Structure 1
Amino acid sequence: MHPKIRTRDVFYISDGTAITCQTVGHAVLAQFPLKVNEQTFPFIENGHKVTEVIKEIERSFLATGEKPLVFFSMVVPEIKQQLLSANALFYDVLQTMVNFVAEDLQLEAKPQLQRSHSVGKDQDGYFDRIAAIEYTLSHDDGISLRGLEEADLILLGVSRSGKTPTSLYMAMQFGLRVVNYPFIAEDLAKMRLLPEFEIHRHKLFGLTIDPERLTEIRSSRLANSDYASEKQCEEELLSVESLFRREAIPYINTSSMSVEEISTRILERTGLQRRLF
């Protein structure tokens, strides 16, 4: 008999984007047999916003009878203390590591508000990331093949193999300019790369997926269609994987990977550097 999985409310709260809180929280909670109900509150920078968040925490505590788990990152001491007055179990995602580093380096930490840091002191980096996102959106799903010389990466694969979410994640998180191109019937019939890609071979990377998983994904959009049939999916994948091998294009199978893992493995294989902001 399997033990009953417990359910807990979880809050991610930050004076910045809360992405770090979510990332750390997900990594930690994945170690436990828990089902979580998550809420995220970014840019909690003043007393009024904290008061509203505390109300949500208290509602959770009253409804469940258990203190919710709160992964948080706060810079302003007054705001942090106000948050800590709520009925919750708190986990400061940065403080422990900051203390260790400060002790090892014998330096005093000087915290800054994340959003102010992003748009002020590192303004050029902030706008570089916005430009990367705009570039990636304008080159999504083969919309445009202009300006490939500006691309950091060109993702290739059949429709619904994970190209778009991976492209956007890499643009938003790493500031990379990513083109993604879906092979269409004409490409598969000719079984060759487009001339536009030949000069940019070093930027090419392929995504593939198991036929069963591809059929499942496509069926959720167009059930009982040729596009979603197992036969069609198998034929497309065989053709594309053959092309990847023949043209020596590196590729990975995305079937059981999250977008975070797909992106990390691409960086590992290509040697591209993350641009952090």
Structure 2
Amino acid sequence: METGGGQPLIERRVRAAYFVSDSTGITAETLGNALLANFPGIAFLKHTMPFVDTPQGAVNVVRNIARDASAGLAPVVFTTTKDAAVSAALAASPATIIDLLGGHLTDLEAALGTTASEQLGQFHQLGDPGQYFARMRAVEYAIEHDDGQSDRALDIADVIIIAPSRCGKTPTTMYLALQYGLLVANYPLTDEDFPTDGLPPLVRKHQSRCFGITTTALRLSQVRHERRPDTRYASLAQCTLELRRAEDLYRRNRVPFLNSSTKSVEEMSALILQTLRLRP
């Protein structure tokens, strides 16, 4: 199909996507969404179905799948269920089934010379208590040191993220803490921090562990308008000024930085780990 100007017009199709798990559904969601991201021309109506650990529970899910199939949504089902009876019930649904564990578990069993445990929810159990409590401590540290609220124990921070307000400091901080157990603080660059050649006093002596974030002025203005519409704080001029000052500050003090406007929290975290050579 073409537009009046001769340009091709891509129709955006709609499909149903189900993430079905016998545990929390996080693994099915993460892997399934990573696969679906490769098909931007299709809009997916997504449904997460956690704790489907009995055949009856699977039958209930299949009813929903069948309803979407009847509506022409051609469901795709991503599963991480391990029980054979549950998997069989899902396989009977009018959908394309993507078993995210099946073939991989079989291959791994062959490689390791043993069978996989049939216990449910293995991935999300406490596991190593030391690692678990390290992550919880990291989350507490991140909350205490969010937006420059505290200067206590900054000397033990693994990373100090600095950026103007609403550039993505807090989500990145929390992701690094929860996912990797890193001690991460963040500091907001405000008008009071300029003009200056050096970093703000609170973080100046920790320069080697600082990492900056920037974005585009338009994106920052849009985000700030959602919080404080029609204010100087959200104006394009103010956002442009703050970002220019921040980037100049990063360059003068050799603080590595990235642009968050087109990156996910996961991508930003990976770049920070790589740049600062952190090994969680």
Q: TM-score, normalised by structure 2?
A: 0.86
CA distance 1:100–1:247, shift in 2 (3 Å): same
Shift of 1:186: 0.9
User: 1:68, 1:88 within 8 Å by CA — same for their partners in 2?
Assistant: yes
User: Does residue 45 of the first structure (1) align with residue 53 of the second (2)?
Assistant: yes
Say whether the 8 Å CA contact 1:191–1:239 is kept in structure 2.
no
Does the 8 Å CA contact 2:77/2:98 hold for their aligned counterparts? yes
SS in structure 2 of the partner of residue 242 of structure 1: helix
Residue 223 (str. 1) matches residue 243 (str. 2): no
How big is each residue's C-alpha offset from its partner over 1:240-263, in whole Å with a ceiling of 9 and x where there is no partner? Answer: 111111111110111111222212
Number of matched pairs: 272
Q: Secondary structure of 1:55's match?
A: helix
Displacement of 1:192: 3.2
- Residue pairs, 1:99-248, within 5 angstroms: 99-103=106-110, 105=111, 107-111=113-117, 113=119, 115-116=121-122, 118-248=124-254
Question: Within 1, Cα distance between the matches of 2:59 and 2:131?
Answer: 32
- Corresponding residue to 2:93 among 86, 94, 99: 86
Call closer, same or farther: CA 1:116–1:96 in 2, change over 3 Å: closer
Percent identical among aligned pairs is: 35
- Which residue number corresponds to residue 25 of structure 1? 32
Structure 2: unaligned runs, 5 residues or longer = 3-8
User: Contact (CA 8 Å) 1:170, 1:178: kept in 2 or not?
Assistant: yes
Compute the displacement of 1:61 (Å): 2.3
- Tell me what 1:251 maps to: 257
Q: Residue 35 in 1 paired to residue 43 in 2?
A: yes
| TM-score of the two chains, using structure 1 as the length reference | 0.87
Letter in 2 for 1:215: S
Provide the residue aligned with 1:76 in structure 2.
83
Q: Which runs of 4+ in 1 moved over 6 A?
A: none
- Provide the secondary structure at the position in 2 that maps to 1:215: helix
SS of corresponding position for 2:14: strand
2:62 counterpart residue number: 54
How much does 1:106 deviate? 5.1
Q: Secondary structure at the match of 2:165?
A: coil
Distance in 2, Cα, partners of 1:54 & 1:173: 33
Q: CA RMSD in A?
A: 2.4
User: 8 Å contact 1:8–1:68 — kept in the other structure?
Assistant: yes
